[in-house]
Amino acid sequence: MGEAEKIQTIKAGSRFRMVKTGCLRRVLILCFLIPSIKATAPVFSTAYILVTEPINIYERLIRAIVMVESLGDTLAVNLPEEAYGAFQIRPIRLMDYYQRTGKNYKTEDCFNFEISKEIFLYYAENMGYNDYQSIARNWNGSGKMTIDYWEKIKKYLYKN
């Protein structure tokens, strides 16, 4: 290989290195520019916040108790026990609720489902019971009959 050919080969190699280096620089510049482009804030001035419905952990138990107590009838009355409404609330329970909360509901108020539910939830959340069985049995009263009551509740509790 002659001197001229060697010089031509060296020049060609230099050009290749220069082209390779030039491409590498461009790639590096792009690598640094692309993330900065993506990191810019959007031009929209509107933000959307989705609101979800709160979960009522007692909803299934409420449905089961209402079905056992009154078959869902908000106007149910049990005269021998003096129990009223969907939850079959007795005057003694209303008196206890009044002493604990200061809310003086009357037996007629028990026909309002939301008021009856408020009373039930007070006892469910504040009496120290942390499982459905204890809450349901306490709502029903005390003694061995609450075991039968819990069995009735379970039939509705675990339905769809």
* pLDDT tens digits along 81-103: 999 999 999 999 999 999 999 99
Residue 37 CA to its chain's centroid (Å): 37
Query: Which residue is it, tokens 């030039």?
Result: 22
Look at residue 131 and give its three-state secondary structure.
Answer: coil
Write the pLDDT tens digit of every residue in 106-154.
Answer: 999 999 999 999 999 999 999 888 899 999 999 998 888 999 999 999 9
Rounded CA separation 43/22 (Å)? 34
Task: Answer yes or no: CATH 1.10.10.60 is held by domain 59-157.
Answer: no
Residue 3 pLDDT greater than 70, yes or no: no
pLDDT in tens, 21-51: 666 677 666 666 666 555 555 666 676 778 8
Strands 77-78 and 83-84: antiparallel
Q: Is the dihedral of CA 116, 119, 125, 127 positive or negative?
A: negative
The pLDDT mean for the chain works out to 83
- d(CA 95, CA 105) in angstroms, rounded, equals 8
